[in-house]
Amino acid sequence: MNQLSNASPSPAPQRWLTRYYTGRGVFSLIWVAAAFGIGLHIPAVAAVLLVIYPAWDALANVVDAKCSGGLARNRSQAINALVSGATTIAVLIALRADMHAVLQVYGAWAIAAGLLQLGAAIARRKSVGGQWAMMLSGAQSALAGGLFLQQALKPEMPSIDRIAGYAAVGAVYFLLSALWLAVGAQRRKRRSIMS
């Protein structure tokens, strides 16, 4: 089904989500560049980046929920914010052990956050449209979480590059969603002008 042509989303939430998805994608790309460019070579920077990523996700989910009708109306984002906040604390604790522990925390978080993102995208698809990339992103995040948990059991020491690869894929999904919503808005605008 072509969500772009069949959905009639409300312009205000769609504009918000276009900006929000763009911001999330850009932040993730900057984080990935820092992880690969600096974090791979300086463990202290990697540690800071590993704490920042779930903290940013918690903040982003709170802002999204508040701009989309409030925390009470957007329970999956509210829960996701709590999960990401708890993950931030868990990463701080896991960093005292080793990267195996950090990867385990990220694995559990990726599963939970992915399923919550999938739920939010499914709930939004009728009212806003263009949520296919967010649904795929949520499902893929949950699968990546399982892979992280499996990799954490292997003897070789993981590094931030595994998580950076995951974040890069997430950035692409956010930017695809923003582009899809923007193109859909332009098409509807052209149709309204022509009719």
pLDDT value at 9 more than 70: no
Q: Give the model's pLDDT for residue 149.
A: 97
* Type of residue at 74: N
pLDDT value at 5 more than 60: no
- Give the chain's length: 195
Distances (CA, A) of 68 to 24, 50, 89, 155, 175: 16, 28, 27, 44, 19
pLDDT value at 11 more than 70: no
* Type of residue at 151: Q
Task: For 105-155, write each residue's pLDDT tens digit.
Answer: 999 999 999 999 999 999 888 887 778 999 999 999 999 999 999 999 999
* Block residue for tokens 């984002």: 77
* Block residue for tokens 């900057």: 30
pLDDT value at 190 more than 90: no
Do 155 and 8 contact (CB within 8 A), yes or no?
Answer: no
Q: What is the distance between the alpha carbons of residues 30 and 26, in angstroms, rounded to a whole number?
A: 6
Q: What is the distance between the alpha carbons of residues 44 and 59, in angstroms, rounded to a whole number?
A: 23
Q: What tokens does 97 get? A: 């052990």
State the burial class of residue 159 (Cβ atoms within 10 Å of its Cβ: 0-12, 13-18, 19+).
Answer: middle
Task: For 61-112, write each residue's pLDDT tens digit.
Answer: 999 999 988 899 989 999 999 999 999 999 999 999 999 999 999 999 999 9
pLDDT value at 8 more than 70: no
